[in-house]
Amino acid sequence: MNTEFLKTTKKKSDDIVFKIIVPLLGLVVVILNPLSLFAISVLVAALLYRIVFHKTFFSKLFIFFLTTIYAFIMLIYSVSPKIQYVEFQKTHPNWVEVQGDSLHVEVDWQGGRTRKSVADITYQYRTHGKTVKKLENNVLKNNTYSVFWNSESEKKESNLELKNRIQTYIQQKNFKILKNQDAEESKLFIPLDNILLSSSFGVEFFIMISKVMLVPFFFILIFYFFSGKNLK
C-alpha cells in the first residue's frame, strides 16, 4: 500500500515538475531573450535532428535536443558583443546609427553572490538639431569570481581595471549608438569585440555553478584529511 502511494506521489510530483514548472521556466527564458535566437535554434535543431536521428519532431528527444542547441547558441551570443550588436541591428530595422560623444564612465562595486564592478555610462548624441543626453546602466561588468570575499584593495583594483578598459574602448571608438527613429530611445553598444568573456552571463553562470560545487568539495577534502590524520 505504501509502495503504491509513493509511486503515485512520485508520478504526480514528476508531472508537476516536467509538465508545468520546467515548460514555464523555459517559456520565461525564451521571452526574456531575443526571440530571433530561439527561431534560429529551432531551425538548426530541426535540421540536425532530421539528419542525425531520422525521427519525428514530436518527441521528448527533440525537446532535449532543441534545449541543448538553444543553450549553445545562447552561450555563443552571450560571449560576443559583435553578434549582440548585429542581432539587434537586423531585428530592429527602424533603429539607425547616430554619432555620439562625451562618454562619461562611473564604476561602482556590487556585492552579493556575484561580486563584481559594474559600469554606468552617460553619453550624448545630436538628433534633429538638438543634443540628447542618455544614461546606460550596467553596460559592462568585471567579475572577480572570488569564492569567499574581496578586500577593499581588490574592489578598488577591479573598479579601476574596468574603468581603464572602457576608457580604451572610447579612445578607440570601439562602440556604436543606435536610435529609434520613431521614439526618443537609444542604445549604446560597447565594445564591439568578437569575444568578451567578462560580461557573458553564460560564463558567469558556469563559474557560479562551479563555485557552488567547489565549496562543499573543499570542506569534504578537509574533513577526510583530518579524519585520516586522527585514524593514524
End-to-end, the C-alpha distance of the chain in Å comes to 49
How many CB atoms are closer than 10 A to CB 41?
A: 20
Collapse the DSSP code of 176 into the 3-class scheme (helix H, G, I; strand E, B; otherwise coil) and give the result.
strand
**Nearest 5 degrees, angle CA 20-CA 30-CA 202?**
110
Cβ distance 162 to 143 under 8 Å? no
What region does 129 belong to: left with phi over 0, alpha with psi -120 to 50, or beta? left
Per-residue pLDDT of the chain (232 residues; tens, 9 = 90+): 556 655 566 566 656 655 677 677 777 777 878 899 999 999 999 999 888 887 777 777 888 889 899 989 988 998 899 999 999 999 999 999 998 888 899 999 987 666 789 999 999 998 888 889 999 998 998 877 666 677 888 889 989 999 999 999 999 999 999 999 988 899 999 999 998 887 666 666 665 555 556 656 666 666 666 665 555 5
